[in-house]
Structure formats: structure tokens, C-alpha cells
Amino acid sequence: MKPSLVISPVTKNGKPAFVVNIPAGVSGGTRKRKFFEKRTAGETFVREWRAETFDYGARWVALSDRQRAGVVYHMDRLAEADWSLGEAVDFVLKHGKASPSIQLGTVAEQFLLAKTAKACRPRYLAKLQGQHFPFPCRAPGTSNCKNHRVGHRRILEPQRLGWRDTSDALD
């Protein structure tokens, strides 16, 4: 079924014009409206749009000009390397992405050091440790956990990440 592109006469800025409404399902989620001074220009647009949809599909037509330029650029890069899109996808799926080179504990440490450098209140830092980096614990009081009380919430922090002791900061 062809999407219906209707050319309608309208008044835009006090001048007669013609508008082509492209339905939401065809244009990538939101309806698009193209305005033309003459009906023939609108008919030409509709004819070209339908031909492009027939040749490349509705998904290609729904892309913006910037997105299309990006696709063409990356396809040219693949062509320079004598790769097809299918080969590139197969390669990525086979080899996967590289694992992150930084551990979570290091990220948490750097984040908290940055917050400390900004001279945040110790109570705020203790709250951050529990809210942004909470880890489940086997049981309260075990060797790998330290229990802290912030407000009415109970926060369990693993000592294996090397976080500094914040029990004095909560007073």
C-alpha cells in the first residue's frame, strides 16, 4: 500500500501556498510538512519521493539529510578498505568490542577523589559512595562489608574496592 501524500492548498504568511503532508509512519515517527509556492513543485516532490521510496525503501527516505550523508560517508570508508557492510558486521560480531581497560573500583575512586577536590561535605561524599556505587553484601557485619547509616538508609560498602573509611565523616 502506497502512503497517501496529499497536496493541499494553504495560506502561509499571508501568501497562498501548497503543502504536502508526509504521514508519521512513513517519515520516521513524526509527520513532516513540505511547503511549495506552486502546485507543480509539490507534485514533482511527491513523484520524486515515491520513486525514492520504491528504489531504496521507506526507512532510507525517513532518514534526514545529515543521517544519509553519514551513511554514505561510512559506506565510502568501507569501500576504500575493500569491505562490504556484511563483512564489517560479521567481523564485529565475531570479534566483539574490546573490554574496558579501567576497573569499576578505579572509576569509583577517581569520581570520589574529584568530588573531594571540590571540597564537598564529608556527609555528601559518604552518601555518594552508597548511592552511586552500591554493591550487594553477603550479610551485615561480614569481613567484606562495612555498614554505614546515612539518614534513615542503610548502606553496605565492600572494603575490597579500597574506599576510605567514612565512619568518622558521618558524625
- Looking at the structure, do residues 4 and 51 belong to the same domain, yes or no? yes
**What gap in Å lies between CA 20 and CA 42, rounded to an integer?**
7
- Looking at the structure, do residues 128 and 151 belong to the same domain, yes or no? yes
CA angle 39, 41, 42 (to 5 degrees): 65
Q: What is the pLDDT of residues 96-145, one digit of tens each?
A: 777 667 777 777 777 777 777 777 777 776 776 666 555 444 444 444 44
Residue-wise burial string across 109-142, b where 16 or more C-beta atoms lie within 10 A, e elsewhere = beebeeeeeeeeeeeebbbbbbeebeeebeeeee
**Scanning the structure block, which residue is given the C-alpha cell 562489608?**
145
- Looking at the structure, do residues 112 and 166 belong to the same domain, yes or no? yes
The answer to whether the beta carbons of residues 148 and 155 sit under 8 Å apart is yes
- Looking at the structure, do residues 34 and 79 belong to the same domain, yes or no? no
143 vs 26, higher pLDDT: 26
- Looking at the structure, do residues 11 and 21 belong to the same domain, yes or no? yes
Q: Which domain holds residue 114?
A: 104-170
- Looking at the structure, do residues 75 and 108 belong to the same domain, yes or no? no
Examine the fold and report which residue of 62, 81, 112 is the final residue of a domain before the chain moves on.
Answer: 62
